[in-house]
Amino acid sequence: MIDLDEYKMNPCKLSPIPYWKARTFKIPNNISVIHDEEYNLSPSSSSSDTLYFRLKHNLKSVELIPLDKMFEYGNVDVTSISDLKEIVSIINKSYRDIQVDLEQVISWTKLKVFNENLWIFIIHKNTQKPVGLGIAEWDKEVAEGMLEWIQVLPEYRGRKLGEAIVTKLLANLANHVDFVTVSGQVKIRQSLKNFIVNVDLKEKIYGILYQRDKIY
């Protein structure tokens, strides 16, 4: 069991996942999670490694990135099947290896860390269609915010919309939590470095986590 006070001091070092998930999730026996500080660069030939990042933002400085005039923010209506289907569409168009369905998205609204004010779209003013999505969560026990989904449709990338979503969610969380975490997979360290620079995480503590899968 993770100690809550220790987790708050350095969540990225202590756990690869948020506290509320760590309390119930058991890492499978064939997987070990290794922090960057303890990582062995010569892994066993009987294992394969996948690199993940986890970042912490202390919310001491959050600068909103302005949207291009052709876009605006919109709140997701979580009671609207149409809006939830738009979320499914945006996520599935944004990834080749990750696909979700409507049932999964609905299940996220049942989680104890769900907050409808942390589900946002970026809307194209001309079409009134969502082109970007941001979903964050709020753990009131820990006073932690978590960025869960940040997506922009491929044809609208390169316009700083993803960065705008991140800073908007950070601002929405700033008055409610002590810190915000975000995690995801990176293929090389440079990708992590670029992520930090692009999102401008000035008050950052980051850990690089390795999921080591044993090959039998």
pLDDT for 24-64, tens place per residue? 888 777 777 777 777 665 555 566 777 778 888 888 888 89
Name the residue type at position 23.
Answer: R
Specify the pLDDT at position 15: 86
Specify the pLDDT at position 78: 98
Specify the pLDDT at position 172: 96
Q: What is the pTM of this model?
A: 0.86
Q: Cβ(55)–Cβ(204) under 8 Å?
A: yes
Give all strands (DSSP E) within the chain, no chain letters: 31-35, 47-57, 71-75, 119-124, 129-139, 144-152, 179-185, 204-214
Specify the pLDDT at position 188: 46
Give every residue of the chain whose pLDDT is below 50, as ranges.
Answer: 188-193, 195-210, 215-216
φ/ψ (deg, to 5) at 17: -135, 160
Specify the pLDDT at position 55: 84
φ/ψ (deg, to 5) at 93: -80, -15
Q: Cβ(203)–Cβ(53) under 8 Å?
A: no
Specify the pLDDT at position 43: 53
Specify the pLDDT at position 201: 45
Specify the pLDDT at position 103: 98
Q: Residue 86 and residue 90: Cα distance in Å, rounded?
A: 6
